[in-house]
């Protein structure tokens, strides 16, 4: 009998558009940041970082996820965060296997939006990471004040990587700092107790010998 007819899957040419942007409220002086992330077939390989500051290397981390945070493939996640209005922010998304989230292993995608407006940045095709620098403005009406800079590592590329890009190194360094500080405190207190007790014992024995 003839083989059953099978429709081949379509070949994607670009990242699909994620779901419509949700809305939520923030206190005065803050802007609602919305990340809409659709995972590919390997969701555990994806993580992201949101930082505030004029330079990535010195910016303050506002929010982040670790590899393994997302567990459902081809699933849309929505992350929200209130951020300071008119400040500069960086959003960086990373893929542990350096093949992005589209389109080799599923149609993953992500988008960034502010205050419920249409996304100002969408992507998914990159290598290890993609970084977007933007101003947190409350309205897109004046686009002259809305600065967007995107740095994309192409598939097969290798742009600069820092220890912060690897959550394993982050957790290791933090654990080492914590344990070192605790060890120093413990050893200091132990030394103080030892020296104090030794001094008290020596002076007591000397006094007793002099009296006798």
pLDDT 10s digits, 25-68? 899 999 999 999 999 999 999 999 999 999 999 999 999 999 99
The pLDDT tens digits for 59-101 are 999 999 999 999 999 999 999 999 999 999 999 999 999 999 9
Strand, helix or coil for residue 179: helix
Question: Contact, 155 vs 181, CB < 8 A?
Answer: no
Beta-sheet strand order (sheet of 30-38): 76-84, 30-38, 109-114, 121-123
Question: Counting every residue, how long is the chain?
Answer: 212
pTM: 0.67
Question: Contact, 36 vs 76, CB < 8 A?
Answer: yes
Whether cis (ω within 30° of 0) applies to the bond prior to 59 is no
């Amino acid at each position: 009998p003839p083989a059953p007819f099978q429709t081949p899957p379509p070949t994607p040419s670009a990242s699909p558009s994620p779901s419509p942007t949700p809305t939520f409220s923030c206190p005065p002086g803050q802007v609602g940041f919305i990340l809409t992330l659709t995972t590919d077939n390997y969701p555990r390989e994806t993580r992201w970082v949101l930082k505030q500051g004029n330079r990535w290397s010195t910016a303050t981390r506002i929010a982040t996820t670790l590899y393994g945070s997302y567990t459902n493939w081809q699933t849309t996640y929505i992350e929200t965060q209130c951020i300071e209005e008119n400040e500069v922010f960086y959003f960086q998304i990373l893929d542990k296997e350096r093949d992005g989230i589209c389109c080799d292993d599923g149609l993953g995608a992500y988008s960034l939006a502010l205050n419920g407006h249409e996304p100002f940045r969408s992507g998914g095709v990159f290598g290890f990471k993609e970084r977007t620098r933007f101003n947190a403005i409350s309205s897109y009406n004046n686009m002259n004040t809305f600065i967007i800079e995107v740095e994309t590592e192409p598939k097969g590329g290798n742009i600069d990587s820092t220890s912060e890009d690897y959550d394993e190194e982050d957790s290791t360094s933090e654990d080492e700092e914590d344990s070192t500080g605790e060890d120093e405190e413990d050893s200091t207190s132990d030394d103080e107790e030892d020296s104090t007790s030794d001094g008290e014992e020596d002076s007591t024995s000397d006094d007793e010998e002099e009296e006798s």
